[in-house]
Structure 1
């Protein structure tokens, strides 16, 4: 049974709606309704290619009529398997447009007149025409009821037909003249054959095990069949040895020489703390200059805030220029004799002359060329297909007249789809979030809690390095930062952070002096519970007036469930303000798998036990961005998977190699040839 059905215009006007239960009526009118969620999370963000949207126990499906800018939406309980929803949406679209075509055309035209007039009058909107939708759509309720009832009756009949027991054939009676040879073998004969086969299989398995582990068995037992009297003592001694070996668990100190190392020798091999050796010596001015790239330093605002640079795509022209060249087929002609996929896209649209309604067959070769181009830009295959499907859904049924009209339609659909996906729905201004929390009012008994950021990701993507870059950025903005070494598994992880913290404490702030006292490392060694160390670090930062806590975690693969549970425990116990996923710009399809499984595992495991709601990824840091040139499709793939923004880009090895992402620049790089 359906819960809700509605027909609306893309401008936000609801032409008709119906809720079938009181709960559905209340849910449809609330801000958290599945229909509002569909508009906010799917349609606005350019995810129209998704088959189904789920929210709050509801499943939502939809379809478009692009020439009239209509959206047909159906919502139902997710646990129900309604097989007629697709057929219902198709019939709704056909019948509604056929019955009310003149009114719908006039209604849509009036909305465009109001919009254009408002723009001409500098956003002072005129009085819109008053439409009596109930009168204009008279008779639609009865038509809808008849359609829905017919589909439900059809499904009920099909269900009865499937559940109806089939007629059993009459038993075969053997004729008097039939011989025993034609008769099927008796059951006990079949059972005998099975038992014999099983016995042979068991014997073959015993023979293989005896051949593989015979020596081991003889060693454990201490004797063979030919052993005599002394075999009992040997058997007893070997059993005791095995018992001792089984009790010895954990690592045993390996002895490399005849004698143990002395204290002086152990001290010479200990590189954990700063000494007068090359690794631990105090950095010189030349070494500090190597840690900061003057060319990549950010700038300061009028308020004295330090801002990192924007990543710029240096290929000439703006994003609109690139799209226009692509659609005209001229992109790349100066440097390449062959047309690119986007150039082919423009040439395909150039053949549409006169007034034409674009169909799926017309768009199929165009969308295929668009998909191949996105995949060349390192966009994951599944994401490229969904983006192209979304663009196609926005173009099917559009009326185009002449090449210029087609050019504008494709430019709008293509640029809007990528821009909507990349545009963050939450703020990426970490400085604003940190200052808001630190300046929030407290009571006399409350103690200020520092802002905490947890860095997660797979092995080897650069979590610790980019954590240090973020730390440098925070220090330059005057914050006191505590770095929590919660990677208690990888050898050298604590020492790596100690070196970073030492270097950062020597770098200047605002061009004067060093930042000693502004950054500190909190570590408890290896083999400890990471969640407990993070909790202790936050408490230490609270007691010692630190502003921000940066939590470094151990790298782990997304399919390792025990490690993902441990990471989810750290998140649920400490409830950080931001959980940032650190991923590489080099990966394509793997980025989707890593990010989606990290996000799903955190949501599933951090919400277990009913203590709190599941917590997922809040944002991304994309590393090794300087190695991919214009193949920046990983940004599109990552943002599409979670809907979360990319906060920073890592572009090098120095502390200043951090960039902010601008959507227009990424769109320009993706659409470039």
Structure 2
């Protein structure tokens, strides 16, 4: 049984709807309606990896009628197996157009009239009067499909009754004959002996690849021979103590090798020996606004300016018929577009080769394969049924649809202005008995992606904006992790604000050594930052693989205990398909484990920081894949080795890079 059906325009106007249960009718009138969630998450944001959308126990399926920009939606209980839903959507679409084509054409034409707004145009149409006969048509259509589904179900039941009866009859003696055959038992014993002999032979070789195979007919047991060959190798000499020269090193020699911060008398000399200029790249410094705020620079893919003011305008610029296909945007698809000449209504068959070529183009840009499939499916759904004219208009229509889909996916649904969020929390009024808690940001990710390095870049950005930062060393596993942060704190203390001067009081390291509980260290760091008037606490965590459940539970514990204001996933721009797996499992594990260990809904990832961005040129598909999977924004890009090598990501620049040949 269905719960809800609706027909609406892509602009948001509902032409017809019906709820079949009181619960569905009540839910449809609220903001939490599954249909509203479908429109927001699947249609507007373009984020769905399934053929159907599920929300709050409901399953929803939909189809488009692009000729009149209509969306047909059917919702039903997820536990039900309704086989006729797809047929219902297809029949609804065909019948609705057949019955009301003149009304729909007039409505769509009025919407595209720029002199009036969509609300005024919708108000001028009496949908209830225009579609008053649709209820009867729909009831007849639904009744016929339900009856056919019931007949199909009965026929399937009849076809399964006879085999069930036959299977229920007791087996005859002849049925058990193979099991009692002595020859089969002998074969099984022989196979077991052969397997054991093979295991012994492999064990004798020590499991090494490329080992010498014993000669057939040598008359020697391979296991015994291998053991005798391997045995002398196991008797290795004890490792002797390493010596430095002929004599024991003196205290002066040891002092020259001591680079620790707490080294007596010479700590200031070590600090003074660091080249401050090498820590800051003047060419990649950010800019300061009129109110004195320091902003990191935008990443620009175009190394050579082409004179265009708007990058996205170039990406959508139609191909000139005189320009070769390799010179234009998506020019490699030129030969495919050339097949779609003439004025016609686009069909699935027309678009199939175009979308396949588009999929290959996206994958060459490092977009994950399954994401490429879904993006191309969305582009195809938006074009099927549209009437286009010449080659250039077809070309432009496909490229505009692709650019629109990419822009919709990459556009963040939450603010990417971290500085605004920090200042909002710090300026919020507090009760008289409360003490202000610093803004906390946790950096998480897999091993070796550059969490600590890019955390220090974010710290430099915060210091330049006059904030006091406390770095919490919560990577208590990796050797040298605390020392690495200690070096960064020393360097950042030297730089100060505006790249010069002393700012020792603006950045500090909070560490408790190795082997301790990371969640407890983070809690102590936040309390320390609160008591000593720090504005921001940056939490550095140990790298871990997304499939390691014990380590993911430990990270979830850190999240649930400390509830950081932002959880930033640090990922690489080079990983491609792996980005989807890493990010999906990280987000799911954090939500599941933090919810189980704490109270309320589990926390997930709030945004991304993508490192090694300068190594991928225009193959920026990782940004699209990561944003598609989580729906969360990309806060920063890491693109170099100095503290100023941090960039912001503009959606138009990513679209330009993906559409570029």
Q: TM-score scaled to structure 2, two decimals?
A: 0.85
Question: Structure 1 stretch 196-205 or stretch 128-137: which is displaced more?
Answer: 196-205
Please give the alpha-carbon distance, in whole angstroms, between the structure 2 residues aligned to 1:205 and 1:297. Answer: 67
Match of 2:153 in 1: 159
- Cα distance in 2 for partners of 1:401, 1:72 equals 27
Counterpart CA distance in 2 for 1:632 and 1:80 is 41
2:218 matched residue in structure 1:
none
1:117 aligns with 2:129: no
What is the alpha-carbon distance in structure 2 between the residues aligned to residue 17 and residue 267 of structure 1? 81
Distance 2:166 2:342 in 1: 65
Question: What is aligned with 2:311?
Answer: 319
Residues 65 and 209 of structure 1, relative CA distance in 2, 3 Å threshold: closer
Deviations 1:320-374 (A, max 9, x none): 453345644667x4xxx95678224345435545431011111112112211211
State the aligned residue count: 613
CA RMSD of aligned residues (A): 3.3
1:538-617 correspondence runs (5 A): 538-608=526-596, 611-617=599-605
Asked if structure 2 preserves the Cα contact closer than 8 Å seen for 1:648 and 1:660, the reply is: yes
Q: Quick check: 1:567–1:602 contact (8 Å CA) kept in 2?
A: yes
Q: Give unpaired runs (5+ residues) of structure 1.
A: 173-181, 215-253
Deviates more, 1:18-27 or 1:497-506: 18-27
Structure 1 residue aligned with 2:130, among 136, 147, 171? Answer: 136
Question: Matches of 1:171 and 1:451 in 2, distance apart?
Answer: 68
The alignment status of 1:6 with 2:6, answered yes or no, reads yes
- Matching residue of 1:473: 461
Point out where structure 2 has 5 or more consecutive residues left out of the alignment.
205-238
Q: Summarize the alignment of residues 468-507 of structure 1 with structure 2, pairs less than 5 Å apart.
A: 468-507=456-495
Alignment of 1:100-499 (within 5 A): 100-113=100-113, 116-118=114-116, 130-164=124-158, 165-166=161-162, 168=165, 184=174, 190=180, 256=241, 272-275=260-263, 282-284=270-272, 287-314=275-302, 315=304, 316=306, 317=308, 318-324=310-316, 327-328=319-320, 333=324, 342-350=330-338, 352-403=340-391, 405-499=393-487
Q: 1:194 to 1:576 in 2, by over 3 A?
A: farther
- Closer, same or farther in 2 for the Cα pair 1:262/1:192, shift >3 Å? farther
Distance 1:460 1:170 in 2: 58
Structure-2 change in CA distance of 1:276 and 1:313 (3 Å)? farther
| CA distance in structure 2 between the aligned counterparts of 1:307 and 1:640, rounded to whole angstroms | 26
Residues 494 and 504, structure 2, Cα contact 8 Å, conserved in 1: yes
Structure 1 residues 619-628 or 80-89, which shifts more? 80-89
Offset at residue 190 of structure 1 (A):
1.4
Partner of 2:504: helix, strand, or coil? coil
**Residue in 1 aligned with 2:23?**
23
3-state SS of paired residue (1:87): helix
Answer yes or no: is the 8 Å Cα contact 1:391–1:414 preserved in 2: yes
Whole-Å separation in 2 of the counterparts to 1:610 and 1:161: 51
Which segment is superposed worse, 455-464 or 555-564? 555-564
Separation in 1 of the partners of 2:504 and 2:201? 68
TM-score by length of structure 1 reads: 0.83
The answer as to whether partners of 1:341 and 1:370 remain within 8 angstroms in 2 is no
CA distance in 2, matches of 1:322, 1:330: 17
Q: Deviations over 1:533-568 (max 9, x none)?
A: 111111111111111111111111111121111111
Q: Does 1:68 align with 2:68?
A: yes
Corresponding residue of 2:607: 619
Q: Say whether the 8 Å CA contact 2:591–2:604 is kept in structure 1.
A: yes
Output the CA distance in 2 between the equivalents of 1:401 and 1:480.
Answer: 60
SS at match of 1:621: strand
The Cα shift of 1:155 comes to 2.8
* Contact kept? 2:312, 2:652, Cα under 8 Å: no
Three-state SS of the structure 2 residue aligned to 1:583 is strand
* Residue pairs, 1:634-645, within 5 angstroms: 634-645=622-633
